[in-house]
Amino acid sequence: MLLFIGAVIGGSIAVGYNNHQIAEIQEELQDANTVNINTDQPQTYPDLFEQVEKSVVTVNSFEGEGRQGSGFVYSEDGYIITNYHVIQERENIEVTISDGSTETADIVGEDPYTDLAVLKIESNDLRPLELGDLNEVEITEPVIAVGNPFGFESSVSSGIVSQKDRLLPLQGGFSIPNVLQTDAAINPGNSGGPLLNMKGEVIGVNTAIETRTGTSSGVGFAIPVETVERVVPELIDNGEYEHAWLGISGVDVGPEIADAMDLEENTGFLVAEVVEEGPSDDKIIQGDRSAEIRGEETLIGGDVIKQIDDQKVRGIEDVLVYLARHTEPGHQVELEIIRDGDRETIDITLDSRPEVIEQDNEE
């Protein structure tokens, strides 16, 4: 729209405007193209980078082999967001801000289950980034990733949101739901840096890559801003975040499982194992026999979860998303299950996930 209007005005200038009028019009055009940090309109890449570069930091640890990642300013009073795996099992952390100065950082809180951590520095000249709205994020919309890949500070890569609602597995059998996938190049050192929309809002925290070479292959993942908004305040206030937990594991129901168990529908989550003394112990029945499913031996015969409260369950991701968004330890949920061909409902009081899991991200 600006280009079209400018072209029309430019044609008029050539026809009959005086120098004073030309100057006024040029000034108006310049103002129209000036970056407004609070604007809701998309920006150009140069304007966007100028807006956000001073809010992205380098996170370093020099213990052992050393480790470098990225982070970004969350608040003016010195809170910095990064990935848990960047500072995992580290005590001496340093943060370098945009003016080149380096400060020792305190670890305020960390959550291995969402791969998020909060640091604190004493600088009083910080520009926090705005958080976006995950509901407004659209597949194929343009994004940029800012960080320090391979130690190259303040690097920018651009791409699109390739997909939403990915499930990112962690060691220990847990997964992060709602993860964003992007083809913006994310490499070692980008971890903890922001994934931004074209308004300069954080829509994710870059955290992992899918690769066979150790470098970007066009498939990167970012923890969604919705998770940041939910977890970070708790990390600041309490140093940790308690996740609600059912204490079960299993597989999504597909055609092979439906056939093997004589199920009418091939959706739902099949419980293969129940954690002993967990919240579902003595409530949910686990698999009692083995079958070859997709070439692997799988426990079948257990309960199939079809609904949690009013949320239909197509697979484990629906369960994880519901637990994350709507529950906390101590809450009671109602599960609709299929047991031995019959539909039943059971109530389970959720517990907290067990102690910290080990994590070993390549990125």
Residue 235 CB contacts under 8 Å (≥ 6 apart), including other chains: 108, 109, 110, 111, 116, 117, 118, 241
Residue 244 CB contacts under 8 Å (≥ 6 apart), including other chains: 323, 324, 327, 328, 329, 331, 350, 351, 352, 353
Owner of token pair 């975040």: 241
Give me the pLDDT at residue 24, please: 52
Distance CA 180, CA 169 (A): 13
Q: Which two tokens stand for residue 212?
A: 């066979």
Q: For 332-345, what is the HEC assignment?
A: EEEEEEEECCEEEE
Name the class of domain 43-241.
mainly beta
Nearest of 128, 120, 65, 127 to residue 95 by alpha carbon:
120
Please state, as a whole number, how many other Cβ atoms lie within 10 Å of the Cβ of residue 357: 13
Q: For 142-190, what is the HEC assignment?
A: EEEEEECHHHCCCEEEEEEEEEEEEEEECCCCCEEEEEEEECCCCCCCC
Residue-by-residue pLDDT tens, the chain, 363 positions: 222 222 222 222 233 334 454 445 345 444 433 333 444 666 899 999 999 999 999 999 887 788 899 999 999 999 999 999 999 989 899 999 988 899 999 999 999 999 999 999 998 789 999 999 999 999 999 999 999 999 899 899 999 999 999 999 887 778 899 999 999 999 999 999 999 999 999 999 999 888 667 777 789 999 999 999 999 999 999 999 999 999 999 999 999 999 999 999 999 999 999 999 999 999 999 999 999 988 889 999 999 999 999 999 999 999 999 999 999 999 999 999 999 999 999 999 999 988 754 444 333
Nearest of 262, 344, 345, 245 to residue 300 by alpha carbon:
262
Query: pTM for the complete prediction?
Result: 0.82
Owner of token pair 């949690």: 308
Give me the pLDDT at residue 64, please: 76
Asked if 137 contacts 102 with a C-beta cutoff of 8 angstroms, the reply is: no
Provide the sign of the torsion angle of the four alpha carbons 322, 327, 333, 339, taken in this order: positive
Could you list the active site residues? 85, 115, 191
Q: Which two tokens stand for residue 54?
A: 């001073």
CA distances from 302 to 82, 276, 333 (A): 39, 15, 19
3-class state of residue 262 by DSSP: coil
Owner of token pair 């908004």: 229
**For the chain, which residues make up each domain, given as ranges?**
2-34, 43-241, 244-352
Asked if 66 contacts 60 with a C-beta cutoff of 8 angstroms, the reply is: yes
Distance CA 42, CA 275 (A): 48
Q: Which two tokens stand for residue 286?
A: 């686990």
Point out which residues pair with 290 in neighbouring strands.
Answer: 299
Asked if 302 contacts 290 with a C-beta cutoff of 8 angstroms, the reply is: no
What architecture is domain 244-352? Roll (2.30)
